[in-house]
Structure 1
Amino acid sequence: MLRLTNVEKRYANGYVAIRGIGLSVERGEILAIVGGSGCGKSTLLRLVAGLDNVSNGQVELDGTPVTGPRPEIGVVFQEPRLMPWLDISANVAFGLKGLSRAERASRVGEVLARVNLSAFARALPRQLSGGMAQRVAIARALVTRPEVLLLDEPFSALDALIRMELQDHLLDVWDAYAEDERPTLILVTHDIEEALALADRVVVLGGTPGRIHGDYHVGLPRRGRREHDSFPGWRARLLQELRNARHPGTVQPDYAI
């Protein structure tokens, strides 16, 4: 389990990005964090990843404090961040250390198959489309077999159709794992529809400093969510919650969901 307890991030200049964040995420859960620009979404993700340190509170994975990067926590950023001089196999294998050559090759082959890129193992990044490059980034994060996979607006730079295709592909990759081996997914996004299409649970972050303003278990079926009768109601409800987070005190109407 991933647990955040009263987490705060204060920078050296005194600016407080987030405050009072308390959150528990179960193993294998898909959680989306939505919020407007500047509310601290990416800051929160960096703290969970161990790429930055909390000022107050604690981030724990399975009862152990997260104080730096850990192999159990993978990260996919907004840009693929591939090394242009390495082929796709080498890019994916870059984070693997202490393994035999055979084990490295086996793991790389496995994750490239999961993201449907086995045929491009010897290609260079410049030979890939944007969507393919982002699939390589997902493979690179999965190759260490993380318990938690963090995704920081991973599809925001892609056009709408490719973005939807990759959302569905991410679910396919996650679903292909045995139930007790599925990583926890934590997705940061400003896109409500993306959050609803992927997540079991949606947390709304807002304000300055950023705080949790809503925590919703969506309860939509895993497949065909965008066409589900409840999808528009959930979209309206979360949009209103985002408005409330920006302007506290706003009364939220009731929605039939």
Structure 2
Amino acid sequence: MSQAADRTLILLEHVARASGPMGLLEIAGRTGLDKTTCSRLLGLLVTRGWLVRDTETKKYSVGPTLVGISMSASLPDQVRLHFFPLLHELREASGETVSLQRRFGTLRVCVAGLESQHSLRRSLPIGSSMPLSAGPSGKAILAFADTETTTAAFAGLEEARHQTVHDHLGQIRKTGYLSTDGDRTPGVGAIAAPLFDRGGVYGSLTLAGPSSRFDAAARQAMLPMLLRAARDLTVLLGGDTGRYDGWTAANPPNQL
């Protein structure tokens, strides 16, 4: 291993194991690295999402990439055992990329999934994060988040987008899903449903692909299967499945 790689990993380990955010001087002191080298390597880790730097305190803490990987590795065995067969079924039936997103504060992190086997497909960067207000994956979570999280999510939005996001959240609460075309990324169609555990909203289950192929009709055709899979995962997570019964009744197959 190169010296630079070794030093980078040492920095990452110290910040990840710390009881709270760490400042540059503290990190340099604990690792024995000079301030300039330490600052450069920390900057690299921030750029890659392994760490985040608070703009006010200037302190470093674990970032969404590291959180995403750890979340994926920490999925309960019972969920992991049944989750990937469900993913495979969804991917085979839709032909598109399927992903599990988990809530992390006001972000949602991609922790697992399977990419479409088409050459033109939606990529699946495990560990990537986005605001809860971005795309159906995040909004399916935000629709059931606590007031504090919702307020923080809207505070980070351009005012012109408030009404659209508000309408989307209302639709998700009523029907149990959100289907969009180009909501976050132009040319991408996606449909997502929320997942719940004992503590409330856990994350979301999403299908996504090029809108030229995964259009509104294709997305609606997958809705019954998506809702069933989301309900099954919620059962495994110990969450309340009562909502799904109402949503299934509101979206009968003969209307899709």
Q: TM-score, normalised by structure 1?
A: 0.31
Q: Which has the higher helix share?
A: 2
Q: TM-score, normalised by structure 2?
A: 0.31
Larger Rg: 2
